[in-house]
Structure 1
Amino acid sequence: MRISALLFLLILVIAPIQAQVLSNKITFTEADTLRGSLRPERNYDVQKYHLNVRVEPDERFISGYNTISFKADEDLPVMQVDLFQNMKVDSILYKGEKMKFNRRYDAVFVDLQPKVTKNSIDSIQFFYSGNPKVAKNAPWDGGFVFDKDKEGNHFIAVAVQGTGASLWYPNKDHQSDEPEEVLIQVAVPHELMNVSNGRFVGKEVLEDGYTRWDWKVESPINNYNVVVNIANYVHFEDRFRDLDLDYYVLPYHLEKAKKQFEEVKFMMNCFYEKFGAYPFEEDGFKLVETPYLGMEHQSAVAYGNDYKMGYLGKDLSGTGIGLKWDFIIIHETGHEWFGNSITAADIADMWIHEGFTSYSEAVYIECRWGKEEALEYLQGTRRGIGNQKPVIGHYGVNSEGSGDMYAKGANLLNTIRSIYDNDELWWKTLKNYTETYRHKIITTQETEAFFNKAIAYDLQPVFDQYLRNKSIPELQFRKKGKKTEFRWKADVENFDMPVDVILKGKEVRLHPSDQWQKLEVKVSSPEEIEVMEKEFYINRKNL
């Protein structure tokens, strides 16, 4: 959120959940390029992280190290590792020796002596410490949340999508590279528990009043998904088929959680059918209560929706349908397939995370309450779409596109489903997509090609209009003599997209182009033509 991510969620304007900062920049700095581009110093493939940290709640201080195991894609004399400049680099060890380094903005450049040669597998151990950035309003800005529960216990979590995982630990902070596995060891005061991603593999009581909690992730994972969740948690568990369901909540919310989280099994049943099996079965599935609204942290989904239906008790679509289900459970878990399993190589393509995940909300509605309610919900979410800038952002500079990626992305997918005009083929293609690109890092072009290949119709003009231009196509009608004419007005040259209408009580498929065409059925005025606007996200205008 991405929430998913996540991803801002504005109740007043009814916009979907948006995680972290969405860039409104037109010009970009060296810092943006260092973060967003794949420079020669990033010519390595991360294999593993071993993250060992100590969190001191009262001081809001963390310290520890990350052992970064990697394979060099080219000879690597200098290695870029990312860590926010407010955090201190204590030392960097390579082959047991301290390495020299220099810093530019949030990038640390390590002089590897001797250099790592192409195709070699090696590691560095990066020691660091400091007071990490504190979020002012998580999850919409990145950082740590240092809070207290109502019993006075520390309640701590982190959310960094978009802002960057290097906010709190050193890593290669680019979405195009994911470690294949991560060992996360977090020491916290005895009275607290830490819950991180993956499976719990043990704990060790330390002699200084701290306990270290160990978690292991055995699947590829986005850097921003690696988290700590620290509280006086209680744990309960359940199962769905062969999938372990683990829940960590505050003690006084236990009974509410047991009731609310029953929805997980309804959701999993739907998502397994439509998207395929849960993509991280080896790491299990967790919901973890957090002091902020929510986030799609892989195998440890952050939950802070106050055990209410909808989004904190409100319906983002304005239809009432959104109050039938818990928005955070559904949306953030949808990201396990879209964003966590299938990951965009550059955050400019974050619609791959957020558009598909927002569509998963409608998929869940359709599974439980039928297609008509799903279409009504999707149409309702359009009121949060601004159409002020393109959905796709700027590549290579850590720049997301428009926040429209959520509802507009979902309505684009629903429009493509309607163009398919074959639900059996649509569901087959969507499931094939999630299974083909399971645990893969991909681009918008690969996504477009996949959905284009399934049908004879060329979808490229449709993708170009909805993703690379700010406006949606306008279907125009006019009366000319005794005939009614129609055409598309769009930004894409020679724009072509079929659309369904109701004429004389019958559903008819029109094939407008950017040139005026005559309507074969005689109508007295364009107002008689009913466009199926729930199925197609377009503007309609009678001239």
Structure 2
Amino acid sequence: MRCIAVLFLSFFLVDSIYSQNFSRKDSLRGNLTSLRTCYDVVFYDLFLNIDENSRSLVGSSNSIHFQAKENFNKIQIDLAQNMQINKIEFLNEDLIFERDFDAVYIYFPKQIKKNEFHKIKVYYEGQPKIAKNPPWDGGFSWKQDKNNNPWISVSCQGTGASTWWPCKDHQSDEPDSMQITGVVRSSLQFISNGNLRNQKEYFSEVLSSNVIESCWFVSYPINSYNVTLYIGDYIHFSDIYLKNKDTLMLDYFVLKNNLIKAKNHFKQVKPMLRCFENYFGKYPYWNDGYALVEAPYLGMEHQSAIAYGNNYLAGYRGNISYIDSLKFDFIILHETGHEWWGNSITTNDIADMWVHEGFCTYAEVLYVECMYGYDKMLSYVNNQKKHVKNDRPIIGKYNLNFKGSSDMYSKGSLMLHTLRNVINNDSSWFKLIKNISIDFRDKNIDGSEIIQYINDRTELDLTKFFEQYLNHRQIPTFDYKLQKHGAHYTLLYKWKAIDGFNMPIKINYGTKNKILFPTSLWQELDLGFFDIETFNVRDDLFFIRVNKM
């Protein structure tokens, strides 16, 4: 039921430089109509029978506990068209429902009054979408490990949790807590978010087999795409992380053949957590613990049960040039960063996913500074430039379940690095970053709220700064000329950017450093006598194009 605050600033209009045809299905998924805002989910109780032989969920259900925010007799939930709903119960009665693409309209036999608490139970089954390229094109991954044991998981960010379980599939509403119970054949283990509450074994008529039923409980708000499951021949080991005499449980679930290498490889977790807590505050899911679970795909930031599939390699699938030739595991680092950025702080609309991915990718930068020092950080963040495409705006289109460019990762990080140097006071910068993490913890927000918060705390009007980097695909260009007059040089300079863009920038010449305040108009500065070979525009501190004219 996390708090929703909607604040749109007028300048957040996405450029018309790209277009896409949107359907009614997109609107039903992305738009918050009164059929969705009239109720607030407070608890989900998801029960799953997973049949790996038929690649299906059978005899499954979800109880949706909610509080009415307005009077109503009809609501919308979401479940993929290919999944069958057997019935929906309310107060021991079967409800009438109808389907419209992935939307499910539910009719109540009486008016539900504002502030009342109720629950419905949705009984369903079917073969959920199979992931084509997880985690980007998500769904279920039905794989086998090297010993031919079933190895199953799900990833659904963007694709949507409603591809496999019935819920209000919108980032703006999260339950306060959740229970996930999974039933699998007794040779397997079922792992999910949060903490394991209990297990029991019995013969299941539904699966026609001896089974293990595992009940997991999430004690914090959780967004729907973070709800997950892992099924396989897992072995578990654990560790503890100590902070101020408090203990965080670290749980690791890996395939049995990988136990030895995992115990060595996962030693990097504790120093990483220390760095992140230094910059962003306390790990946000302390009571639920921290877990890495080996998955049959690269990785995903599933809350308190992070999917890990980087094959115990440094870098990105062993490519260390991706991480500026350092030696850490990129997937562990990046997906853990999402516990603060994306899981604890979640945007209402995926159009604002730059908050998740930009801040999380910048978390990598701060980790490098923490572990390797400032100079290596500077090298690392500039290495991210090679991933930027400048193909379309970072902000997507609101109310259509449409996110912006993948530049939200590296370009978002470089934007924040640039902002650090605009502020030009590291003490203030690090305080600002930590305060954002703490003040918006466990909240659903709009990107505009983050921007307004930064404006307020810095007492700077950064409206045009964010508009340039988020709403336009091109980065600003610093045009300059050096003119020689006898033994002296004069610098002429200006911005080529959106109207009103006035970001300061740094230059070096000779032994001097200078902050300039360019605008769209040519300005002139007498640099005096210096060695022209020493002139340098600090594009290592600011993500810009430099154009010597």
| TM-score of the pair, normalised by structure 2 | 0.92
Question: Secondary structure of the residue that 1:454 maps to in structure 2?
Answer: helix
Shift of 1:452: 1.8
Question: Secondary structure of the residue that 2:528 maps to in structure 1?
Answer: coil
Shift of 1:481: 7.3
Aligned to 1:221: 222
Which string of whole-angstrom CA distances, capped at 9 and with x for unpartnered residues, describes residues 477-498 of structure 1? 024674321011102x121001
Question: Secondary structure of the residue that 2:458 maps to in structure 1?
Answer: coil
Task: Tell me how far apart the structure 2 counterparts of residues 196 and 417 of structure 1 sit (CA, whole Å).
Answer: 38
Aligned to 1:31: 25
Does residue 50 (structure 1) correspond to residue 45 (structure 2)? The answer is yes
1:319 and 1:380 in contact (8 A); partners too = yes
Residue type of the alignment partner of 2:528: K
Aligned to 2:339: 336
Residue type of the alignment partner of 2:512: K
Aligned to 2:495: 488
1:478 and 1:526 in contact (8 A); partners too = no
Shift of 1:444: 1.1
% identical aligned pairs? 42
Alignment of 1:84-103 (within 5 A): 84-103=80-99
Task: Tell me how far apart the structure 2 counterparts of residues 440 and 271 of structure 1 sit (CA, whole Å).
Answer: 19
Which string of whole-angstrom CA distances, capped at 9 and with x for unpartnered residues, describes residues 90-127 of structure 1? 10001110111110110000011112111211110000
Aligned to 1:436: 439
Residue type of the alignment partner of 1:49: Y
Alignment of 1:69-84 (within 5 A): 69-84=65-80
Aligned to 1:287: 292
1:316 and 1:381 in contact (8 A); partners too = no
Task: Tell me how far apart the structure 2 counterparts of residues 277 and 500 of structure 1 sit (CA, whole Å).
Answer: 34
Residue type of the alignment partner of 1:501: I
Task: Tell me how far apart the structure 1 counterparts of residues 533 and 415 of structure 2 sit (CA, whole Å).
Answer: 25
Unaligned stretches of 5+ residues in structure 2: 1-17, 205-209
Residue type of the alignment partner of 1:272: E
Task: Tell me how far apart the structure 1 counterparts of residues 322 and 266 of structure 2 sit (CA, whole Å).
Answer: 22
Aligned to 1:195: 191
Task: Tell me how far apart the structure 1 counterparts of residues 312 and 95 of structure 2 sit (CA, whole Å).
Answer: 49
Shift of 1:520: 3.0
1:317 and 1:377 in contact (8 A); partners too = no
Task: Tell me how far apart the structure 2 counterparts of residues 163 and 368 of structure 1 sit (CA, whole Å).
Answer: 35
Aligned to 2:10: none
1:527 and 1:542 in contact (8 A); partners too = no
Change (3 A) 1:185 1:484: same
Residue type of the alignment partner of 2:253: Y
Residue type of the alignment partner of 1:442: I
Alignment of 1:453-492 (within 5 A): 453-479=456-482, 482=485, 483-491=490-498
Shift of 1:527: 6.7
Residue type of the alignment partner of 1:464: E
Does residue 140 (structure 1) correspond to residue 136 (structure 2)? The answer is yes
Task: Tell me how far apart the structure 2 counterparts of residues 467 and 399 of structure 1 sit (CA, whole Å).
Answer: 15
1:484 and 1:525 in contact (8 A); partners too = no
Aligned to 1:12: none
Q: 1:277 aligns with which of 282, 286, 291?
A: 282
Shift of 1:176: 0.3
2:316 and 2:323 in contact (8 A); partners too = no
Q: 1:303 aligns with which of 305, 308, 331?
A: 308
Change (3 A) 1:318 1:233: closer
Aligned to 1:253: 258
Which string of whole-angstrom CA distances, capped at 9 and with x for unpartnered residues, describes residues 151-177 of structure 1? 111000000000000000000000000
Aligned to 2:547: 541
Residue type of the alignment partner of 1:44: Y
Residue type of the alignment partner of 2:57: I
1:479 and 1:525 in contact (8 A); partners too = no
Aligned to 1:114: 110
Aligned to 1:498: 504
Aligned to 1:522: 528
Aligned to 1:373: 376
| TM-score of the pair, normalised by structure 1 | 0.93
Corresponding pairs, count: 517
Question: Secondary structure of the residue that 1:353 maps to in structure 2?
Answer: helix
Aligned to 1:211: 212
Which string of whole-angstrom CA distances, capped at 9 and with x for unpartnered residues, describes residues 42-84 of structure 1? 0211000000010000110102100000111111211101000
Task: Tell me how far apart the structure 2 counterparts of residues 171 and 127 of structure 1 sit (CA, whole Å).
Answer: 12
Task: Tell me how far apart the structure 2 counterparts of residues 343 and 250 of structure 1 sit (CA, whole Å).
Answer: 31
Q: 2:403 aligns with which of 400, 403, 408?
A: 400
Does residue 159 (structure 1) correspond to residue 164 (structure 2)? The answer is no
Does residue 175 (structure 1) correspond to residue 181 (structure 2)? The answer is no
2:43 and 2:178 in contact (8 A); partners too = yes
Q: 1:357 aligns with which of 355, 360, 372?
A: 360
Task: Tell me how far apart the structure 2 counterparts of residues 112 and 459 of structure 1 sit (CA, whole Å).
Answer: 48
Shift of 1:316: 5.1
Which string of whole-angstrom CA distances, capped at 9 and with x for unpartnered residues, describes residues 448-507 of structure 1? 11222222332111101000111100001024674321011102x121001111121222
Task: Tell me how far apart the structure 2 counterparts of residues 29 and 90 of structure 1 sit (CA, whole Å).
Answer: 27
**Higher mean C-alpha displacement, 30-39 vs 109-118:** 109-118
Q: 1:65 aligns with which of 61, 64, 77?
A: 61
Task: Tell me how far apart the structure 1 counterparts of residues 425 and 96 of structure 2 sit (CA, whole Å).
Answer: 60
Question: Secondary structure of the residue that 1:197 maps to in structure 2?
Answer: coil
Question: Secondary structure of the residue that 1:234 maps to in structure 2?
Answer: strand
Change (3 A) 1:523 1:448: farther
Shift of 1:523: 6.2
Task: Tell me how far apart the structure 1 counterparts of residues 227 and 89 of structure 2 sit (CA, whole Å).
Answer: 23
Question: Secondary structure of the residue that 1:262 maps to in structure 2?
Answer: helix
Q: 1:510 aligns with which of 494, 511, 516?
A: 516
Unaligned stretches of 5+ residues in structure 1: 1-23
Question: Secondary structure of the residue that 1:81 maps to in structure 2?
Answer: strand
Shift of 1:378: 1.1
Which string of whole-angstrom CA distances, capped at 9 and with x for unpartnered residues, describes residues 155-214 of structure 1? 000000000000000000000000111000000000100110001101111213111111
Task: Tell me how far apart the structure 2 counterparts of residues 316 and 71 of structure 1 sit (CA, whole Å).
Answer: 50
Residue type of the alignment partner of 2:413: A
Residue type of the alignment partner of 1:517: Q
Q: 2:537 aligns with which of 520, 531, 535?
A: 531
Task: Tell me how far apart the structure 2 counterparts of residues 526 and 513 of structure 1 sit (CA, whole Å).
Answer: 24
Question: Secondary structure of the residue that 1:445 maps to in structure 2?
Answer: helix
Change (3 A) 1:405 1:316: farther
CA RMSD of aligned residues (A): 1.4
Question: Secondary structure of the residue that 2:417 maps to in structure 1?
Answer: helix
Change (3 A) 1:381 1:296: same
